[in-house]
C-alpha cells in the first residue's frame, strides 16, 4: 500500500505485565522542563511568561462509567480489571488524583476563523500528567469537561454527554480508519447537569454532564508557539521549540541531545534543526489532511489552536462525514455563511495555518539584517512544497480509491496535472456532485462492478449496480446515466492497464474505502439512547468501527446512507460548538 493511504490498524504489543492505576509511571516532563504560571489560584486571567497553569479537576456528584477503550488501556499497560474498578471511574472523572499526577492546563493562543484571538488556552481541558509505558512511549492523559481553568474565559469548563459521546467515538473510529488522531481512554458521566444552548438561539436547557479522557503523545498546538511570538517573548518561544524537538520529535532528530529526568536546561536547537522540524510538522499535517479527504471527514473548526504539532486530528467538535458528496459542506453552524472550513478547503486551510506557524517561529530562523534571509526562504520553500506535494499525493490517493496506481513517478507535476488520470478523477468527482451521491457507499459499490472489457453493460445497468449510493432516484436522468456510462468505459480501459483481476481490484479498493464511518445520525441515535441510560448504541458503534473496512455480519444498518428523517434533524446534519 502506498504512503498516501492505509487501512492497517497499528498493532498494540502486549505489555510485559498488565498493571494497576497505582503502578502507572508518571514522568511529567512538560511541567518540569517548561516555565509555569506562578499563580496557583484558579480564576480566569491573562497568563504571561508561562506555558501552563497548575489546576485541579472539579469534584462531581456521582460519577459513573459509560465506556472505555480496551486498546487505549493497552497503550497504558492497564489491566482490564483496573478499567472496571471504582478507582478508574473516580480518577478519569476528575474525582481522584493519583499520587504522582501533576494536573495542569496549557496556555496558548490562536487564529479563530482567520482572525487572531489572542490568549485562548485549555478552557475545559486538564492534563493529569504524562505516562511512560513499558515500551518507553509517552502518553498524556487529559480530561475534557472536568471544570474551570484559568483559560475558561466566560465558560464553565464542563462538557455534556452528547458532545462527549461524539468525541469518544470519533477519536477511536479515526484511529481504526488509519487517520492520525488523538485517542480516547474513557467516557464517564459526572452525575451533574450542565446548562447548554445547543444552537445559541436562546433555548438553553440542562443536559447530562460528562468527561472524556483523551490520550496523545502530545497536545501541543500551533497556537502554543503563536502566543509567545505575538507577545514578543522570544526566549519563551525558544524554550518550547527546543522542548518540542527534543521530546516530541526525538525519533526525527536522534542526534539532538534528549532530555533526562534530572535536566534543568534544554539544549538550544540550531536554525537548521528548527527548519528541519518545521518541515516534519508540514509533512505530518499533509498526511493528516490527505487521510481526511480520503475518508470524507470534515473537521469543522480548523483554527490554529486546533492544529496538533504532531499532525494528529484533535478537538472533535462540530465534525462530520460527507454523506452526499458536497465539497462545499461544513458541519459547523458557526461557519455556515462563510464556509471557511468546508470539505474542499481543508488543504488550503492547513497550508494557511502552517503559514501562521512559520510566522511565529520566523524570529528563531530569520535574519532581518541579511538581504538573503535564508531562514525565511527555507520556510517559504517548505510551504511551497506542501502545496506541490498535496496536488501530487491527492491524485495518487484518489487513484488508489479507484484501485489504480499513479503514473510513473518520473513524470513532472505539470505532466501529472494534465494527465488522463487527473481528468478521470476530476470527472468522477463532478459526477458525484451532479446528483446526490453517498461518497462512502459509491466507492464500495464501484468495487463490486466488474470492469473487465468482456463485461458489456448498458447505462441503466451501471446505475442499477450503484443504486445503493443514490439518495434521490428521480435525479438519475438519461443525461446523467449516459455521462456515468461514458466515465465507466474510460475507467474500464484504465483499469485494464493495471492487469489486476476483479477480486484483487475489489480488495485493493475496499482496503482504502471504508464501509463503516461515524455518520452524524449514527452518533445521534447512540446519544439518544445514552441520554436515557442505554449505552448499547455506544458499545455497538465502538465494536463495529474497529473494523471499518470489513463487512460485518448483522451490521448492515450501520452501513446505510443517511435516512430522510435525519436530513435536517439537530445533531444529524450540522452542529454548533456548543458542548
C-alpha to C-alpha distance for 305 and 292, rounded to whole angstroms? 18
In this structure, the number of other CB atoms found within 10 A of the CB of residue 246 comes to 21
HSE of 464, CA atoms in CB hemisphere, 13 A: 5
Dmax of the chain from CA atoms?
A: 76
Give every CB contact of residue 86 below 8 A, 6+ residues apart in sequence: none
**141 in any annotated domain:** yes
Q: Which three cell numbers stand for residue 433?
A: 456532485
Q: Please choose, from the candidates 316, 320, 312, 314, the residue with its C-alpha nearest in 3D space to the C-alpha of residue 291.
A: 312
Q: Are 299 and 292 in contact (CB under 8 A)?
A: yes
pTM (2 d.p.): 0.93
Average pLDDT along the chain, 579 residues, taken 10 residues at a time: 38 67 96 97 97 97 97 97 97 97 98 97 98 96 98 95 97 98 98 86 89 98 98 97 96 64 64 97 98 98 98 96 95 92 98 98 82 87 97 96 78 53 96 97 96 77 93 94 94 90 94 98 96 97 98 97 91 74
Q: Which pLDDT value is given to residue 54?
A: 98
CB 161: neighbour CB atoms within 10 A? 23
- Domain-located, residue 10: no
Cell 504532531 locates to: 310
User: What integer pLDDT is reported at residue 459 of this predicted model?
Assistant: 83
Q: Is residue 561 part of a domain?
A: no
Check residue 488 and give its pLDDT.
Answer: 93
Residue 243, all three cell numbers: 522542548
Specify whether the CB–CB gap between 207 and 343 falls below 8 A.
no
Total length of the chain = 579
Give the per-residue pLDDT at 571: 85
Q: Please list, residue by residue across 373-410, b when 16 or more beta carbons sit within 10 angstroms of its beta carbon and e when fewer do.
A: bebbebbeebbeebeeebebbbbbbbbbbbbbebbeee
Angle at 92 between CA 50 and CA 66, to 5 degrees: 140
Domain range enclosing 165:
21-219
Q: What is the DSSP string of 54-89?
A: E--PPP-SS-EEEEE-HHHHHHTTB-HHHHTSHHHH
Q: How is residue 50 written as a grid cell?
A: 508561562
Any domain includes 75: yes
Q: Which residues are catalytic?
A: 305
- CA distances in angstroms from 207 to 164, 404, 530, listed in the order given: 12, 48, 12
The DSSP-derived string for 318-340 is S-EE-SB--TT--SBGGGTTT-T
- Give 300's contacts (C-beta < 8 A, 6+ positions apart): 317, 318, 319, 320, 330, 331, 332, 335, 341, 575
What is the Cα Rg of the chain in Å? 24
Q: Per the domain annotation, does 162 fall within a domain?
A: yes
Cα dist from 34 to 7, 31, 120, 235, 277, whole Å: 37, 6, 18, 12, 19
Distances from the Cα of 97 to the Cα of 18, 152, 448, 569, angstroms: 20, 21, 53, 40
Report if residue 106 sits inside a domain: yes
List, in sequence order, every residue forming a beta bridge with 109; answer none if it has no partner: 119
Residue with cell 488523538: 182
Task: State residue 6's pLDDT score.
Answer: 35
Q: What pLDDT score was predicted for residue 5?
A: 36
Picking from 104, 106, 105, 137, the residue whose alpha carbon sits closest to that of residue 24 is 137
Asked whether residue 126 is assigned to any structural domain, the reply reads: yes
Residue 413: its pLDDT value, please? 45
pLDDT computed for residue 4 by the predictor:
40
Q: In the prediction, which pLDDT does 457 show?
A: 80
Nearest Cα to 48, choosing from 40, 58, 38? 38
Q: Which three cell numbers, joined as nine digits, stand for 216?
A: 496523545
Q: Report the alpha-carbon distance of residue 562 to residue 539 in Å, rounded.
A: 20
- 157 found inside a domain: yes
Number of domains forming the structure of the chain: 1
Residue 380 parent element (H or E): helix 374-401
Amino acid at each position: 500500500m502506498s504512503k498516501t493511504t492505509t487501512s492497517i490498524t497499528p498493532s498494540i504489543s502486549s505489555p510485559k505485565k498488565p498493571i494497576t492505576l497505582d503502578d502507572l509511571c508518571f514522568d511529567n516532563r512538560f511541567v518540569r522542563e517548561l516555565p509555569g504560571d506562578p499563580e496557583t489560584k484558579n480564576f480566569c486571567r491573562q497568563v504571561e511568561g508561562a506555558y501552563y497553569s497548575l489546576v485541579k479537576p472539579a469534584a462531581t456528584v456521582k460519577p459513573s462509567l459509560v465506556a472505555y477503550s480496551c486498546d487505549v488501556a493497552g497503550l497504558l499497560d492497564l489491566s482490564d480489571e483496573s478499567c472496571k474498578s471504582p478507582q478508574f471511574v473516580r480518577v478519569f472523572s476528575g474525582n481522584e488524583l493519583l499520587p504522582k499526577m501533576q494536573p495542569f492546563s496549557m496556555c496558548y493562543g490562536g487564529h479563530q476563523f482567520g482572525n487572531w484571538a489572542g490568549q485562548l488556552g485549555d478552557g475545559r481541558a486538564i492534563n493529569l500528567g504524562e505516562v511512560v509505558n513499558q515500551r518507553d512511549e509517552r502518553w498524556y492523559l487529559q480530561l475534557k469537561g472536568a471544570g474551570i481553568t484559568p483559560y475558561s474565559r466566560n465558560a464553565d469548563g464542563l462538557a455534556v454527554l452528547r458532545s462527549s459521546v461524539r468525541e469518544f467515538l470519533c477519536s477511536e473510529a479515526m484511529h481504526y480508519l488509519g487517520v492520525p488522531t488523538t485517542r480516547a481512554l474513557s467516557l464517564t458521566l459526572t452525575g451533574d447537569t450542565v446548562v447548554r444552548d445547543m444552537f445559541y438561539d436562546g433555548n438553553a436547557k440542562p443536559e447530562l454532564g460528562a468527561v472524556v479522557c483523551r490520550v496523545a503523545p502530545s497536545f501541543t498546538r500551533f497556537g502554543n508557539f503563536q502566543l509567545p511570538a505575538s507577545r514578543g517573548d522570544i526566549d519563551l518561544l525558544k524554550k518550547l521549540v527546543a522542548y518540542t524537538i527534543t521530546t516530541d520529535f526525538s525519533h526525527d532528530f536522534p542526534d539532538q541531545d534528549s532530555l533526562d529526568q534530572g535536566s534543568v536546561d534544554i539544549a538550544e536547537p540550531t536554525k537548521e534543526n528548527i527548519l528541519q522540524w518545521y518541515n516534519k510538522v508540514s509533512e505530518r499535517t499533509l498526511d493528516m489532511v490527505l487521510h481526511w479527504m480520503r475518508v470524507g471527514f470534515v473537521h469543522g473548526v480548523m483554527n490554529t489552536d486546533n492544529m496538533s504539532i504532531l499532525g494528529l486530528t484533535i478537538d472533535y467538535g462540530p465534525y462530520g462525514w460527507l454523506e452526499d458528496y458536497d465539497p462545499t459542506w461544513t458541519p459547523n453552524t458557526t461557519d455556515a455563511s462563510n464556509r471557511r472550513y468546508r470539505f474542499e478547503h481543508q488543504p488550503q486551510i492547513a497550508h494557511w495555518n502552517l503559514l501562521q506557524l512559520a510566522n511565529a517561529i520566523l524570529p528563531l530562523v530569520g535574519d532581518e539584517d541579511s538581504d538573503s534571509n535564508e531562514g525565511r526562504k527555507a520556510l517559504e520553500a517548505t510551504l511551497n512544497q506542501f502545496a506541490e506535494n498535496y496536488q501530487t499525493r491527492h491524485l495518487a490517493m484518489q487513484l488508489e480509491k479507484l484501485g489504480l496506481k499513479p503514473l510513473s513517478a518520473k513524470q513532472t507535476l505539470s505532466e501529472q496535472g494534465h494527465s488522463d488520470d487527473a481528468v478521470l478523477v476530476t470527472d468522477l468527482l463532478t459526477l458525484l456532485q451532479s446528483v446526490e451521491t453517498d461518497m462512502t457507499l459509491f466507492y464500495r459499490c464501484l468495487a463490486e462492478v466488474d470492469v473487465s472489457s468482456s463485461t458489456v453493460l448498458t447505462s441503466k445497468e451501471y446505475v442499477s449496480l450503484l443504486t445503493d449510493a443514490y439518495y434521490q432516484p428521480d435525479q438519475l436522468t438519461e443525461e446523467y446515466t449516459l455521462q456515468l456510462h461514458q466515465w465507466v468505459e474510460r475507467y474500464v480501459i484504465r483499469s485494464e492497464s493495471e492487469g489486476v483481476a476483479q477480486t484483487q481490484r475489489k480488495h485493493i479498493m475496499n482496503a482504502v474505502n471504508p464501509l463503516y464511518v461515524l455518520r452524524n445520525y449514527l452518533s445521534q441515535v447512540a446519544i439518544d439512547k445514552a441520554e436515557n441510560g442505554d449505552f448499547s448504541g455506544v458499545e455497538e458503534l465502538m465494536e463495529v468501527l474497529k473494523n471499518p473496512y470489513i463487512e460485518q455480519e448483522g451490521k448492515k444498518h450501520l452501513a446505510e446512507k443517511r435516512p430522510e428523517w435525519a436530513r435536517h434533524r439537530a445533531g444529524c446534519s450540522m452542529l454548533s460548538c456548543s458542548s
